[in-house]
Amino acid sequence: MEPLYIEPSEFTPRVFFDPENSVFEISGFSRPENTVGFYKPLIKWLVDYEENVLAKNTNFNKSNLILNLKLTYFNSATSKFLMDLLMVFMRFHSKGNTVEINWYYDEDDDEIFESGEEISEMINFPFNFIPITPNS
């Protein structure tokens, strides 16, 4: 399956879903004019990935999936879609795959840190909180 790469823009984040290494990353700023149009294809890609890659993994060892969320800002409409996307990862987890969710935040940015805590609480799944020091 081909990776999904979306260049960042002024209003939308960078997306890189890498099926070969099972690493999925969304980074930057998210305030899309068309939130549905931006996030629906990401969810669709993950559903295809589930059908074409995860479901065909007949090994005893299931996949180890890593989701890196490195958002600097996201609006409330984005948070709804982040939740939908995380629910897809929760489904992957419920089917026996290991899921690791890394929530990166600027160490001075309480808003992003607290948003991560709230989302983690809402989906009842622990995140790894990773501070980014400025200029690092």
Confirm or reject binding of residue 51 to another protein (CB under 8 A).
no
* Count of residues that interact with another protein, criterion CB under 8 A: 24
| Angstrom distances, CA of residue 99 to CA of 12, 18, 26, 133 | 25, 14, 16, 25
- Alpha carbons within 13 angstroms on the beta-carbon side of residue 5 total 4
Nearest CB to another protein, comparing residues 31 and 91: 31
Confirm or reject binding of residue 97 to another protein (CB under 8 A).
no
Confirm or reject binding of residue 111 to another protein (CB under 8 A).
yes
Confirm or reject binding of residue 35 to another protein (CB under 8 A).
yes
Whether the Cβ atoms of residue 119 and residue 91 lie closer than 8 Å to each other = no
Binding site residues, another protein, CB under 8 A: 10-11, 31-36, 73, 75-77, 79-81, 83, 106, 108-112, 118, 122
